[in-house]
Every structure is written in structure tokens, then in C-alpha cells.
Amino acid sequence: MTTASHARPQRDIHRVTGPRVLRSEWSKFWDLRSTWITLGIAMVLLIGFGLLSAARYDPTSDHTGRLGGSVTDAVAAAMGGQQFAQLAIGVLGVLVMAGEYSTGMIRSTLTAVPKRLPVLLAKTTMFFGVVTVASFAAVLVSFLAGHSALADTDIAAGLTDDRILRGLTGAALYFGLVGVIGIGLGGLLRSVAGGIASVVVLLMLLPVLTDLLPSDMSDSISKYLPSNAGASIYALTHDSSTLSPEAGLLVFAAWAAAAVGAAGYRLMRTDA
């Protein structure tokens, strides 16, 4: 009886559980210098370009001021660095997953967690949470920093104004799902270079290529593209060419789920 009572806790110490896998991925994530550098760059770009967009806003112009879009409201101004920040976050997501394949560490990881899928789910959950929280903080700082620059303009708004908090929260969710897409593409392709190239094509080049299609076809397709669907999550105004925030979140989340699902399928079907 004494031997059995001591053996049971010993087995529990080494048992693989979801929280333990998540804690392991958390430790690996923050131990990498690239994490601090890339995430820091993304947040600095988001805040810096957001402040620049607010400072340069001119209500008498065509409102163009944000790379890849236009400044039509205070949240759009705060998202002035969206194009650069999403690229940095997508790249970091690829590194988090594909980096283990390039170094060979994935073999040790899968030896410790032989069921495999918990590794992918833990990486995805951890990275989504980190990026969403960090992005919300950065967008909030960007919004507050640009508030004084927009104070006397037609798009001036405060945190308590209608839809502002919803827009800022939507922006954070957008970046979190960009990170999930990076994780998925990194796991699917198992190549840092290939994953980064895919992020660029999916989020930045695909809308440009769609614009080359006939206008009727382009209008029907473009709002369902990842970047356009994602942008509607934090947009304060919508028309027939854009999705509602709820629909945009569902579509963008579906793109992210498809990327992670494809990565999970390959992880279970092929060797590391």
C-alpha cells in the first residue's frame, strides 16, 4: 500500500496535460530574443504611425493618411501602422511555429508531447492571447496619444464615445488572429521563409491582385479576403462593400481556423 501511494504522485508529475504544455510553450516563447524584438517593433510601429496619422490628418483633404487605407475616424487614425504591425506579428507567428522545424527542436517537443495536437493548440492559444493583449495596449496608447492632435477636427472622439471601445477591441482581435494565421502557415509549410512569404501574399498582395479582376467580381470577392474582412472588425463605419463587424470577425476567424486546421492535419499525418 505504501509503495502504491508513492507511485501514483510520481506518475502525475510526468503526466502531459494541457496546462503544462501551455506553460512550456509560454516559457519557450519568452526565452527567445526574437520574441521581444519583433513584438516590440510591431507595437512601436503601431503607436508611432498611429500618432503620425493623427498629427497629419487634414479634414480638408481626401482623408488619405493611413498606409493601405484612409483616416475616416479616430480608430482608423490609431491604426495608422496597421500594415507594418500586422506584418511583424504575422512573421513572429511563423517564427513561433516554423522556427522549431528549422532548428530541429520540434522533435524534442513532439517526443515530450506525443499526441502532437496539444502542442499546436498551446502555441496558438498562447500567441493569440499575448498578441491580443499587447495589441490592445498599443492601440489604446496610439488612440490616446493622437487624441490631442485630433481634438479640433471632425473625427475627434473619446474613449466613452459610441463604438470607440468596440473598435479598439476589434483592432486587438484583428492582430491576434493575424498571429494565429502566422502560426498556421508556419506549421503547414514548416519553413520560415515560405511562411513569411505566404503571410505577405495572403494579407497584403491578395487584395491588390483581386483589384485586377473585373469590378463586379472584385466587389463580390474583396470583402471576404482576410485583410478586408479583418479590417471590418474594427471599422466604425460600413457600407455595401464591407462586412459588418460580426460578419468580419466570423470570416477572418474562419481564415485563421483554416490555417491552423491545415497545420494540424499535416502535423498528425506526416513526420516532423
Residue 4 lies in a domain: no
Residue 205 lies in a domain: yes
Contact 146, 50 (CB under 8 A): yes
Residue 2 lies in a domain: no
Contact 125, 22 (CB under 8 A): yes
Q: Which domain holds residue 178?
A: 17-269
Residue 219 lies in a domain: yes
State the Cα–Cα distance between residues 209 and 232, nearest whole angstrom.
20
Contact 232, 223 (CB under 8 A): yes
State the Cα–Cα distance between residues 174 and 207, nearest whole angstrom.
17
Residue 212 lies in a domain: yes
Q: pTM for the full model?
A: 0.89
The size of the chain, in residues, is 272
Where do we find the cell 473585373? Answer: 214
The pLDDT assigned to 199 comes to 97
64 phi, psi to nearest 5 deg: -75, 130
19 phi, psi to nearest 5 deg: -60, -35
Residue 161 lies in a domain: yes
Residue 186 lies in a domain: yes
pLDDT, averaged per 10 consecutive residues of the chain (272 residues), comes to 48 72 91 90 94 81 49 85 94 95 90 91 96 96 86 79 90 97 97 96 92 87 94 88 93 98 94 74
DSSP for 193-225 reads HHHHHHHHIIIIIHHHHHTTS-HHHHHHHHTTS
The pLDDT assigned to 156 comes to 77
The pLDDT assigned to 4 comes to 47
Which residue, among 98, 96, 82, has the nearest Cα to 207 in the 3D structure?
Answer: 82
The CA radius of gyration of the chain, in Å to the nearest whole number, is 21
70 phi, psi to nearest 5 deg: -135, 150
Domain tally, the chain: 1
Residue 10 lies in a domain: no
